[in-house]
Amino acid sequence: MNTTRAPRIAIIGAGPGGLTCARILQRNGITASVYDRDAGSDARNQGGTLDLHADNGQIALREAGLLDDFFRLARPEGQEMRQMDPAGTILFHHLPEEGERFKPEIDRGDLRDLLLNSLNPGTVRWGHTLQKVAGPADGPRTLHFTNGATADAELVIGADGAWSTVRRAVSSAAPAYSGVSFLEAWFDDVANRHPGIAELVGQGSAAAADGDRGLFAQRNSGSHIRVYIIQRVPVDWITTGGLTPENTDGIRRVLLQRYVDWSPRMRQLIADNDGLYVDRPIFALPVPHTWDHNPTVTLLGDAAHLMPPLGVGVNLAMLDACELALALANTDSVDDAVRTYERTMMPRSTEMAQLLDGAAAGLLSTELPDFAGNDRA
């Protein structure tokens, strides 16, 4: 970027998208500050596992100079996929071939640590919850944080997820509930404590559905498994049922009744969990979600195009981050760079969002997903 003074770039959100953007900018000699609401890098569990695809997420890691490090951390065996019926009979089984690396799995925490450790010290400012983006549309912008701090920037990049605060500066759109909800259950030390579940799930993922209910189980590193109990329910189904998220026994009783026709082998994925259930209702942004160009604010990842969790979210966020960072590095002005990025990102995300619009309900279908005919879906 040929400017008389380096622009101040602020990235909101230290998830995979925001950190990837900062890393690629730094590799191209551009400084950016990342602001995140968490108190520190280990403030909370980062969630389950991700598959990073060769045609998007891995492209970003290659540009970040981290692809070899990723493959050292990734689990290619995690590409195994089992589709079962409610009795536990396997209907479809994909076993990855030797050397297959199209979409290996990596724990979210491991990916975040990989990206964080690649950044210059002090890049991430922890404990900064964004309150609003102020200032004129042509800049500079002033960021106001809930801790009283402020920061000025010529470009604000919203990588702050589904409930993005940055989004409000360019769009009035808000996520809407899809009608489908995930309830997450954890299983620890599965080789010793839950051998039946370990055998059922295998080294990758296992899914089953009966048209109204579904289960999706996923192996994580360290002998952990996460199971997502998928239901078509009101967003507040727990509280309207007279329960609280902490009432594990009460929720378990409801679930066992709802899955009463499933085999005992499958129902152990619901009832034998360690600790609390985690309520994760599925939200999505309107399709298409676009906004008028703004020279000082743009969005990437879920902030720009929140979709159902069907294996594309993090991959698209990292590809967005890569393309935005490269546009900033190779374009003469911030305004032109943002235009270049959005000309590619918006059509791509719109096309994918249209494909996935309403697809959360498909997780309950008894039909085999596309991966039955395409191992790389």
| 42 within 8 A of 109, measured Cβ to Cβ | no
Q: What is the pLDDT of residue 46?
A: 67
CA dihedral 32, 36, 39, 41 (to 10 degrees): -70
Q: Where are the alpha helices (DSSP H) in the chain?
A: 16-27, 57-63, 67-73, 108-117, 190-193, 195-201, 237-240, 248-258, 264-271, 302-305, 313-330, 334-356
Phi, psi (deg, nearest 5) at residue 362: -65, -20
Q: List pLDDT tens digits, range 189-226.
A: 999 999 999 999 999 999 999 999 999 999 999 999 99
Interatomic CA distance for residues 310 and 366, integer angstroms: 16
Interatomic CA distance for residues 168 and 36, integer angstroms: 17
- The three-state secondary structure class of 347 is helix
Cβ contacts of 10 within 8 Å, gap of 6 or more: 32, 33, 35, 141, 143, 151, 153, 155, 156, 157
| 135 within 8 A of 141, measured Cβ to Cβ | yes
For residue 118, CA distances in Å to 64, 152, 199, 221 come to: 9, 25, 36, 22
- The three-state secondary structure class of 177 is strand
| 3 within 8 A of 333, measured Cβ to Cβ | yes
Reported pTM:
0.93
DSSP assignment letter at 165: S
Q: Which fold has domain 9-78+101-174+285-362?
A: FAD/NAD(P)-binding domain (3.50.50)
The correct answer on CATH 3.40.50.410 for the domain covering 176-283 is no
Q: What is the pLDDT of residue 369?
A: 55
Interatomic CA distance for residues 322 and 236, integer angstroms: 37
Question: Which residues of the chain does CATH 3.50.50.60 include?
Answer: 9-78+101-174+285-362
Per DSSP (E only), the strands in 233-287 are 278-284
Interatomic CA distance for residues 251 and 238, integer angstroms: 8
DSSP assignment letter at 272: S
Structure token digits, residue 345: 């990102």
| 112 within 8 A of 19, measured Cβ to Cβ | yes
Q: What is the pLDDT of residue 213?
A: 95
- The three-state secondary structure class of 357 is coil
In DSSP terms, 52 is beta-bridged to none
Q: What is the pLDDT of residue 252?
A: 97
Q: What is the pLDDT of residue 373?
A: 37
| 25 within 8 A of 329, measured Cβ to Cβ | yes
Interatomic CA distance for residues 68 and 353, integer angstroms: 30
The helix (run of H) or strand (run of E) holding residue 198 is helix 195-201
Sheet with 155-158: strands ordered across: 124-125, 33-35, 9-12, 155-158, 297-299
Q: What is the pLDDT of residue 247?
A: 96
Nearest CA to 79 among 54, 105, 53? 105
Angle between helices 264-271 and 248-258 (to 10 degrees): 150
| 232 within 8 A of 282, measured Cβ to Cβ | no
Cβ contacts of 240 within 8 Å, gap of 6 or more: 234
pLDDT beneath 50, residues of the chain = 2-4, 371-377
Question: Which residues of the chain does CATH 3.30.9.30 include?
Answer: 176-283
